[in-house]
Amino acid sequence: MVPAEFPARRLRRLRRTPALRRLVAEARLGVDDLVAPLFVREGIDAPAPITSMPGEVQHTADSLVLEAKRLVSLGIPGLILFGIPAHKDARGSGAWDPDGVVQVGLRAVRDTVGDELVLMADLCLDEYTDHGHCGVLGPDGTVRNDETLELYGQVALAQAEAGADVVAPSGMMDGQVGAIRSALDGDGREQVAILAYAAKYASSLYGPFREAVDVTIAGGGDRGAYQQDPRNQREALEEISQDVAEGADMVMVKPAMTSLDVLAAARRTVTVPLAAYQVSGEYAMVKAAAEAGWLDGGAVALEQLTVIKRAGADFVLTYFAAEVAEALGG
């Protein structure tokens, strides 16, 4: 017998079948929510596997184009491109070289797929500097904020000229969005959008990515002096608000799974599109556990991406993009 005081409303009623659960789902993940991060490397003649990121490679310009065409066929709306140059220097000059690796890659993809993909370009200097930091170093070895901003403007123009729809500054320099917006608008490129890495934490989850882009921070240092402290949430909201005020069209929180509270708080704070980056370490952990037979990697990827959407993200940068698109029937 059911106790008389038992509530008439039974929440399990709407969980009874898969169709019922789909009907009332609050968060929905679709192919349109995915952006694929890709790597292109100068000076190689075949795609190079990334050991710590199973399934991911450093592309040649030719294989990059083939992968872009595959993303289009899967219905994925966008990619973000990272470059690995053959040569590096103290100022990261390859980042704004018209014939630099990302610019060459952007042109090749644009010439092939036209507007079928949103082409985003990571805008930073760390892949291009011989010291591995995201900006110009002063005599004391610290990153010079304002001198770095001038270079970010040059990078933005080079990427825009090469065909980027969106430039994505990731260096966490104060004022970076305003400087880039000014550079783009001053060159008549006001239609190029900015996706700001607004809340980017100094995370321990970036290790596989640094293998992917061949970056080593000089002297074993870290980026805690300019990336955010993982202990802080209110500061993240200040960073996001400042980037929006400077003209960011979209803002990003990174890493995704360890910043769900920040995502949710940001969603309540801003109305611009909100992205999250499911970073290399998050991807690598799932892949490693799946390979060991400890969990169902595909199911975990879908669950995590759905939870990131539930927390408030409008779209997710994820290395699972193609795999998940195939699972969703893209």
Catalytic residue among 88, 200, 287, 309: 200
CA distance 303 to 316: 13
C-beta atoms surrounding 238 within 10 Å: 12
Segment (H or E) for 118: strand 118-123
Cβ neighbours, 10 Å, residue 4:
5
Out of 88, 254, 287, 309, the active site residue is 254
DSSP per-residue string spanning 160-229:
HHHT-SEEEE-S--TTHHHHHHHHHHHTT-TTSEEEEEEEEB--GGGHHHHHHTT---GGG--STTTSBP
Which residues pair with residue 209 across a beta bridge? none
Both tokens assigned to 259: 């910043």
Burial of 221 (0-12, 13-18, 19+ CB in 10 A): middle
Cis peptide before 255 (omega within 30 of 0): yes
Whether 254 is catalytic: yes
Mark out the alpha helices in the chain (DSSP H runs): 18-23, 61-74, 101-113, 145-162, 176-186, 207-212, 234-246, 260-269, 280-291, 297-311, 321-327
Q: Catalytic site residues?
A: 200, 254
